[in-house]
Amino acid sequence: MQRSKARTSPVKQNTKRRKILVIAAIALAAVLVATLGLFARDMFTVKKIDNTTAETTKTTRGTETSDKSKTAKPKETPAPTQTPQPKANPNSGYVVLDDWGVRFKPSVGNTFTFEKVPGLDAYDFRTQRQTDLGGDYAKRNKDGTYMCKFHRIIRYAAGTVDAARKPGIVGSINGYDYLHMTPQAACGTTTAEQQVEVAENLKVNAFLKTIEAKQ
């Protein structure tokens, strides 16, 4: 005679299912708690690292600022403004004929005078000592020139002086030739005056040979 298989009652099956569900729920809760714990730990670690980095950066910047303040160079005091000095006159110490654009260099201790010749592109020259002789040296013609013939410089366009007088050219400047005409006779009436005249004429000769362009 066969035995019939024992059947589990529905109550026992339900109890078993509940136990399985409770165990699964507990396991799931444990997993969630563990996950939340790890997440919280990571967040705390990241925040701590961020705070540490911020503090380090702040400290570094503070150190850099402190170092810069220590090593900063003092402001340089600007140099005082210098007043420009007036340029020296390059023609100082020369006798200058502005209309001709030329000049002459007088020797030390000698004073030379000059006058424009009326109606001519020319100048007459003498020393101050010759002028100071007075008498015939001071007399003038009707045109205003001195009766005593002194040294004369006549300006000609370059190349127009005739060959016979070319030896008298003392300079060729700015497209002109400057011809020196010398006195042909003494003007003084006494031996003393003539001696002075000869000595002064030598000075004028040397003076007129220094002609050059005005600077």
Tens digits of residue pLDDT in 25-79: 676 766 665 666 665 565 545 444 455 454 544 544 544 454 555 555 667 777 7
Q: What is the mean pLDDT of the chain?
A: 79
The 112-116 sheet, strands edge to edge: 112-116, 122-127, 151-157, 176-181, 169-173
Selected residue with higher pLDDT from 143 and 157: 157
- CA 149 vs. chain centroid, Å, equals 54
Whether the full predicted model's pTM is greater than 0.85, yes or no, is: no
157 contacts: CB under 8 Å, gap ≥ 6: 175, 176, 177
Selected residue with higher pLDDT from 38 and 6: 38
Q: How far apart are CA 1 and CA 166, in angstroms?
A: 176
Residue ranges per domain, the chain? 11-67, 95-213
Q: How far apart are CA 142 and CA 118, in angstroms?
A: 11
Query: pLDDT category, 22, cuts 50, 70, 90?
Result: low
